[in-house]
Amino acid sequence: MQDRQYSSYRWTIQGVLIFMQIGLGLNFMAPTPLFTLIMEDYGINRGLVSLLVSAPIIVLTISLLPSGILISKIGSKKAMAIGGLLMSSGLLAPLFDSFVMMVLMRLLFGVGAAICLPVTSSILMEWFKPNELPILNGVNESGRSVGVAIGLLFAVSIANVFGWDMVFFFFGLLPMFATVLWLVGGRSVSVVEEQSDEVSLSNNIDLIFNRNTLLIAIASMGPFALFIGYSSWLPTYYNEVHGMTIERSSSLVAVLPFVAAIATPLSGIIVSKLGIRRPILIMAGLTFPLLAFGSFMITSTILIAICIIGLGSMFALYIVTILTIPMELPGIDASKVGIVTAGALTIGNGTAVFSPIFIGSFTDLTGSYTPALSIVAIMPLLMIISGLLLPETGRRAKPTGY
């Protein structure tokens, strides 16, 4: 088993996984550059069109923990195939002429993403050595960010030539391609066994709602709301308020995930070398709002770009830190870390669900983007609470009890 587990074939597995991660990111924010076109075609307002981003995040949030149970029941190979197939739901877009059906299509994508995220971790743990896992986590996180950036860059150009519905079709091709590759070359090391009650949700409620899990969730709320809300609405904001073309505004916002993709592996090295976690959360909680306000209150395109680069870099440092802390908490082993992480992200992702809807609806209500963008900008201040109350888990400080 060990020879097979750590054989060179694991790099083939990772090659397929990276296509799946890029496909996830590519489709995740695909509607955002198209908001103006979709609103015009369907005659809907900003609040409704935001559902194309918020709806998949809703089902992703709800489905994360059940997906973990599903993976343990059917095995990683079948689970990844199901996840990839559902993430390819954009292929159905040309068949629909209804906003409701478009939302349902995006819900299917959300379920697929909810399966793909935890099963990727399971596959990595099956195939790779422990010292390779942080690097591969960074690579796959970068792949998702690259996918988001590519989607923001090319969605409008594709829409101008083929129509906005074909954007979803073309973007759906990549996860379908990755699914075919997985069915041909994907393998699972683990054998699915009968599961005990230990993997049931009811037996892990205390762990999910543990003090430290909740503090990690609080630290997730602001950055996720900021990243999703601003990625969704800044392209339209720059178009309507600053007079930029949709192509230019989308390209400008695409800098955020591109920077995150580049900075994530480097952030892993920084977090490892620093050996501390809490000061990073506090520093990020103070820095995020300053950069966020700069991204929409400054009129200089150069300064806006600097703020967006700063947001991407800070998000990369944050995401590596917040995913590392659960692995280091005392009393948390490999069988529990997925539950803690899923529990924290499930609670934290709730703000990401409502962020695009809140910005769109509050802008419709007030007639200005400024109030909504300002409220979302200050939400990362909640990270300071977590930074102060969480135990220090880094190697440079003695951890406290869990």
Domain extent listing, the chain? 1-186, 199-402
| Segment 226-233 mean pLDDT | 85
pLDDT tens digits, 50-96:
788 878 888 887 877 777 667 767 777 888 899 999 999 989 888 88
In CATH terms, are 1-186 and 199-402 the same topology?
yes
The CATH architecture that domain 1-186 belongs to is Up-down Bundle (1.20)
Question: Which of 296, 264, 279, 314 lies closest to 376, judged by CA?
Answer: 296
Percent of the chain clearing pLDDT 90 (strictly above): 20
Interacting residues of 168 by C-beta distance below 8 A, sequence separation 6+: 27, 30, 31, 90, 91, 93, 105
Contact 38, 165 (CB under 8 A): no
Query: Counting Cβ atoms within 10 Å, is residue 3 exposed (0-12), middle (13-18) or buried (19+)?
Result: exposed
Contact 219, 322 (CB under 8 A): yes
DSSP string, 287-319: HHHHHHHHHHH---HHHHHHHHHHHHHHHHHHH
141 vs 282, residue with greater confidence:
282
Query: Counting Cβ atoms within 10 Å, is residue 333 exposed (0-12), middle (13-18) or buried (19+)?
Result: exposed
| Segment 101-111 mean pLDDT | 90
pLDDT tens digits, 18-45:
999 999 988 888 887 888 888 888 888 8
pLDDT category of residue 205 using cuts at 50, 70 and 90: low
Contact 221, 228 (CB under 8 A): no
Residue 153 tokens, joined:
């860059």
Distance of CA 214 to the CA centre of its chain: 19
389 vs 248, residue with greater confidence:
389
Pick the CATH number of 199-402 from 2.102.10.10, 3.90.870.10, 2.40.30.30, 1.20.1250.20: 1.20.1250.20
CB neighbours of residue 388 within 10 Å? 12
Q: Mean pLDDT across the chain, nearest whole number?
A: 81
Give CA–CA dist 148/59, Å, rounded: 19
Distance of CA 294 to the CA centre of its chain: 23
Give CA–CA dist 346/361, Å, rounded: 23
Distance of CA 273 to the CA centre of its chain: 25
Query: Counting Cβ atoms within 10 Å, is residue 64 exposed (0-12), middle (13-18) or buried (19+)?
Result: buried
